[in-house]
Chains A and B, each alone.
Chain A
């Protein structure tokens, strides 16, 4: 008995349609059906943030969203961060400040950091740390990540 749910949604500004099973998560849809492998599964339980995306502008863990829920909504992933091949200041600062080592957590951090700066363009160190508490990194100890986000915030403020 066919169970597939037809979903029409918007991903990184593009209209997208797919069919998914009721149990499938948005993360599984992004990675396995749409080829958007930037979002990663680190835990599957919403504890590591490697799967972070925004859903209608809200930061969420895509491993805890059903693919069916994206109907009529708008999703952005790390693949939508740069525009026309130009890296977003966050992406540039992450590279400049060596804020990644293995890089597996980086897409999640970038999406979370952007969500932070979108609502709070001038965060303190403490605000940055608490906003990113939902993203686990095992390589860096977070030091250079916090510095990179702070630097990106400064650059974005100077351009605004």
Chain B
């Protein structure tokens, strides 16, 4: 059934309120079950042996002693995970990342695994596995990896996107270019040009719950997987494909998820757990340690970015150019390309060009991290924007307002914008009380903008009405931040019943059609859309049942406030039929009443944000303190404002950690030196102030309620907002993220403040 997805301006009764979430009690009592909270009779403990080398040939793996240890039920290597990918290189990369195939590509790369009766036996078994490595030269820095003499990570890679097509192996997997106009001509017209280079170090999503799963495969090839994931349908497809199982015969249940932010959209050890279970013929539980999470899952890229922006004195940008180098880890991907696409998305530019390189290094395979690739590009661009504004003597907010994208702007990455929120968020920032708050000694204020595309994707939803009129809403998008509450609000709104009458559940893969992963801020957007249509589908059935009960034409029945009403004066004697009454009567009127919807949710609306922050810098030590922080973001329509605020605040907090302290530190030996929460420093409670939020609602024309995805955008502005604040506080321009105290103090001591102004 085709549905019109366009926005209809309507008054909401329930959507937009703040009721308690349905999973709240379970989560505050410890009853909620996450990835590591499942237990099966006879389960074994699975542990993974990992390479201590950044790059090595694996000459031999001797598992014989490990296999003989009493209590060990299975030992596997890549020999137990044959290549069934039929030439699909992307799938083979995933398989190889899960278990090394003759070569270790990063410190932490899985090389073997065991399943044993308890943790101690599994631990001892790992120690008995003998791996014969031939250590090879490695490269971990993105710029070093692009040099001619760099060790090659993937010998089969030939750079795509260059002409003529190269024949030599390279660490550059692709070059992409975006933009329009003539940047050379634009620079010639500029009164002022700022050209600067920036670096950002690698960070991790840092979810508090490590990856965990309980896998059970039987000799008949059927299996079950309990796993913490952002997309159990995607995981099912991946695992079935890699293990040669039928999709329908692998049932994947998503546990409650303890944070993902993009890092749990990808399989890391789940195929290994399934392979162990298949060999041992018993359930196998694999829970990663924090060390493994940092070393062997999917952090985001480290980057090296050059930005050049030219402007005339009247405040117009005449040309903008960015060259971006992103490392994707040891397997090729598209993260550089995404950085290129997002770089200048906030602005209305006549001449713009972004050239992006995706580069391979001996580091773990990069995965999405909340608005992936955008924060780094925004750091470089928004820092430069501030410097250009300073050079021409313009206020940084006014300069951005003057050049902001608007409806009808051709975006730097291609499409033309509909109604968007960048202008409104900038205006709101300009007028926000934060802007007028007094600043004390050593404090500086900075602001920056950010953008994220948001996605729609495949969605499938069921809505079933119980005999007592309460509603089961079954969705397939994993709830990462409270979407079950929002979806219940939507169902209640559509049906016209109280929120408390709806129970939303995330179903397993056997119970629903395919749902794409909860990523790209699509959870509430797409499942919300599918919920609306499923509810309208159910209302169609309810109206038919009322018509049947009243023996009138269904065209004369309307649904309002949770009840069927007969229109037309001639039906005036018919009493309304409530949802409860129709439900109770359903066994006699045609059976269970339900609505269903499958949709590829198009029309996802882009979301913009503007942040303001005040930072205090101790000039003698470089120590930073976040004094005040404000997030202003366009949500389209805030279904449940508490959870929208929560997304703004959480994303901002991650951005703050990224800006100030978080980084992967590699030694010269290519090994990760800080794979733990002690030295990978995410913000703690005392590091942050209250984070003020302002929700703007510029409806997305592509969604019936105007919803835009909100989860990601607010991780984009903090890096530059803080860099701009530090610049104003301490008079130094930091171009290397994180702006840790040693870097800030060094900049203060060296007096490196001025930008490179040309002309």
Contact = CB atoms under 8 A, between A and B. Distances in A.
A102 B258 contact: yes
Contacts of A104: 34, 207-209, 256, 258-259
A104 B481 CA distance: 11
Interface in A122-160: 125-126, 128-130, 132-147
Interface residues of A, number: 60
A142 to B, nearest CB: 5
Nearest to B20: A95
A73 interface: no
Contact of A137 (B21, B30, B31, B208): B208
A139 B685 contact: no
A120 interface: no
B269 interface: no
A138 B261 contact: yes
26 contacts: A32-B39, A37-B30, A37-B37, A41-B36, A45-B678, A48-B208, A78-B28, A81-B29, A94-B24, A95-B28, A98-B18, A98-B642, A102-B260, A103-B28, A104-B34, A104-B207, A104-B258, A110-B28, A126-B686, A129-B686, A133-B685, A138-B682, A139-B481, A140-B649, A141-B652, A146-B685
B90 to A, nearest CB: 29
Contacts of A132: 685-686
Contact of A36 (B30, B259, B683): B30
B24 A23 contact: no
A91 B690 CA distance: 21
A91 B646 contact: no
Interface of A: 21, 23, 28, 31-32, 36-45, 47-48, 50, 77-79, 81-82, 87, 91, 94-98, 100-107, 110, 125-126, 128-130, 132-147
Contact of A38 (B30, B643, B649): B30
B23 interface: yes
A28 B118 CA distance: 12
Nearest to B657: A138
A42 B208 contact: yes
B676 A95 contact: no
A136 B677 contact: yes
B210 interface: yes
A106 B688 contact: no
Interface string B27-57: 1111111101101000000000000000000
B160 interface: no
A96 B23 contact: no
A102 B690 contact: no
Given A38-B30, A146-B690, 13 more contacts: A31-B36, A31-B37, A39-B30, A42-B210, A42-B290, A45-B677, A47-B676, A50-B208, A102-B257, A103-B32, A132-B685, A140-B650, A147-B690
A95 B25 contact: yes
A91 B481 contact: no
B269 to A, nearest CB: 16
B319 interface: no
Max chain B C-beta neighbours (<10 A), residue from A42, A94, A132: A42
B220 interface: no
Nearest to B228: A104
A55 B351 CA distance: 65
B627 interface: no
A102 B480 contact: yes
Which of B29, B119, B259, B649 lies at the interface centre, i.e. has the most chain A CB atoms within 10 A of its CB?
Answer: B29
Is the contact region of chain B dominated by helix, strand, or loop, or is it mixed? loop
B209 A142 contact: no
A48 B677 contact: yes
B649 A79 contact: no
Q: Is the interface of A mostly helix, strand, loop or mixed?
A: loop
Contacts of B259: 102, 104, 138-139
B206 interface: yes
B691 A47 contact: no
Contacts of A81: 28-29
B25 A78 contact: no
B654 interface: yes
Contacts of B208: 40, 42, 48, 50, 102, 104-105, 136-138
B240 interface: no
Contacts of B261: 138
A82 B29 CA distance: 8
B676 A101 contact: no
Contacts of A87: 25, 28-29
Contact of A98 (B206, B210, B482): B482
Contacts of B290: 42-45, 48
B21 A98 contact: yes
A3 to B, nearest CB: 9
B551 interface: no
Contacts of A105: 208, 258
B678 A103 contact: no
Contacts of B287: 41
A42 B290 CA distance: 7
A82 B25 CA distance: 11
B292 to A, nearest CB: 11
B20 A96 contact: yes
B28 A43 contact: no
Interface centre among A23, A36, A102, A133, by most B CB within 10 Å? A102
Given A42-B290, A143-B649, A107 B30 contact: yes
Contacts of A142: 653, 683, 685, 688
B684 interface: yes
A146 B677 CA distance: 21
Contacts of B650: 101, 138-141
